[in-house]
Amino acid sequence: MAKQKKKGKWITKLLIAVIMTYLLLIVLQLMGDVYSKLTFTHKIPISKEWNLIVVNRWNEIPEDYSVELVELSNGQRVDSRIYPYLQEMFDAARAEGVYPIVREGYRTEEEQQETLDEKIQAYIKEGYSRSRAEKTAKEWVALPGTSEHQLGIAVDINADKSKCSNEEVYAWLAENAYKYGFTLRYPLGKQEITGTSYEPWHYRYVGVKAAQEIYEKGICLEEYIDKHFTSLYNINE
Ligand SMILES: [Zn+2]
């Protein structure tokens, strides 16, 4: 009887220890999350590699950045450096019965302003107040100077609707774009880091190495840069 009691006590102690360890791990995890949120810096150093330059609402296009454009058959333009990879990716999609098109490629600063104004007007038409329309539009459209489209290495991809649906194109891209060096730039759940809502159509060329790691780890470009490069710099902002 005494032995039974002792055994019971021992199990209780063990259980308490396990529960305490578990709780401690949860607390540590929460602290880690809060810490990384507090310390994540939105300001990212300008990469010397053109394909890894980060442009978002906190990081403007570098002043010395220049583009060399090629025109696509539908009149959209992209930087010539990404053209072969884009072509290769589209060929691969078509071979699998998916028909993507570039709906938006390069945009000038003025065109970016027009895009933003149009979006604001659209929300006002829907009945939004001016300030709410502006706020909502800015969640979807970048301010001039902070749009990746001005880099010429980002594209909005839709479907050739006569042949397939947008959803089919988005699904194909989500699984395959990284093989050609393109990354889903604004994934779900990363809005606080990218500054932009989920956009299944917006792809950015970063090169195969970066695209593959971003894809495999389920991270976004900012996190990739933060992981690989920011430790090399001294950032105070
Ligand atoms: Zn876009």
pLDDT single digits (tens) 142-152: 899 999 999 99
Which tokens go with 95? 């071979």
Residue 53 one-letter amino acid: I
Q: Please state the rounded mean pLDDT for residues 166-173.
A: 98
231 alpha carbon – ligand 1 mean position (Å): 29
228 versus 172: the higher-pLDDT residue is: 172
Q: Please state the rounded mean pLDDT for residues 80-93.
A: 98
Max CA-CA distance within the chain? 88
Determine the pLDDT at residue 90.
98
48 alpha carbon – ligand 1 mean position (Å): 23
Determine the pLDDT at residue 151.
96
Residue 57 one-letter amino acid: R
Domain layout of the chain by residue ranges: 1-39, 43-107+149-237, 111-146
Pick the CATH number of 43-107+149-237 from 1.20.1240.10, 3.40.50.300, 3.30.450.20, 3.30.1380.10: 3.30.1380.10
Residue 83 one-letter amino acid: Y
Catalytic residues: 199
Residue 232, pLDDT > 50, answer no
178 alpha carbon – ligand 1 mean position (Å): 17
Residue 209, pLDDT > 90, answer yes
Residue 212, pLDDT > 60, answer yes
Is residue 156 within 8 Å of residue 201, measured between CB atoms?
A: yes
Residue 185, pLDDT > 70, answer yes
15 alpha carbon – ligand 1 mean position (Å): 53
141 alpha carbon – ligand 1 mean position (Å): 8
226 alpha carbon – ligand 1 mean position (Å): 22
Q: Please state the rounded mean pLDDT for residues 93-119.
A: 96
Instruction: Name the pLDDT band for 54 (thresholds 50, 70, 90).
Output: very high
User: At which residue do the structure tokens 């529960």 appear?
Assistant: 19
The Cα 191–Cα 118 span in angstroms is 22
The Cα 36–Cα 152 span in angstroms is 32
Q: Which of 28-32, 68-72, 79-83 has the lowest mean pLDDT?
A: 28-32
Q: Please state the rounded mean pLDDT for residues 61-80.
A: 95
Instruction: Name the pLDDT band for 44 (thresholds 50, 70, 90).
Output: confident
The Cα 150–Cα 137 span in angstroms is 18
Query: DSSP assignment of 154-185, as one string?
Result: EEEEEE-TTT--HHHHHHHHHHHGGGGTEEES
